[in-house]
Amino acid sequence: MMRTLAYEWAEFGIRLNCVAPGTIKTEALGRYPIPPDDWVRLNRNVLGRMGSVEDISAAIIFLSSPLGQFVTGEDWYIDGGETLHLAHDARDMIDAVKFAKRERGDAGLS
């Protein structure tokens, strides 16, 4: 859909791109039924760390700035290579007991 919109709006000088974040370290991470330490321990991406809010914002700033003026119709995976690392499935990381009880991975700790 984004590529179609990028094509249709290009004549008006409007560029459309999609930023697709990988696993980003935020407070919301604890809401998943996966203990936060497991994300790193299980080697989720090829760079070996979770992304940061700054990693994502840098891509958006680039695309929004004159530096990105010739980029349109693109999907940018800002994920530390998570989409390259095919040896895992996040569903395998879910703690079945926490999921059944709808518990947070961080046990509700901040």
Structural domains in the chain plus CATH codes: 2-101 (3.40.50.720)
Q: Looking at residue 37, what is its pLDDT?
A: 73
54 vs 66: CA distance, rounded Å: 19
Tens-place pLDDT, residues 29-51: 777 777 767 776 777 788 888 89
Give the model's pLDDT for residue 110: 47
Q: Supply the pLDDT for residue 104.
A: 72
CB neighbours of 2 closer than 8 A, spacing ≥ 6?
A: 16, 17, 18, 73, 75
91-102: average pLDDT: 74
Model pTM score: 0.72
Task: Compute CA distances 36 → 13, 60, 86, whole Å.
Answer: 42, 26, 20
Choice between 68 and 90, residue whose per-residue pLDDT is larger: 68
Q: How far apart are CA 59 and CA 110, in angstroms?
A: 28
105 near 31, Cβ under 8 Å? yes
pLDDT, tens digit, 9 for 90 and up, residues 9-23: 999 999 999 999 988
As a whole number, the mean pLDDT across the chain is 84
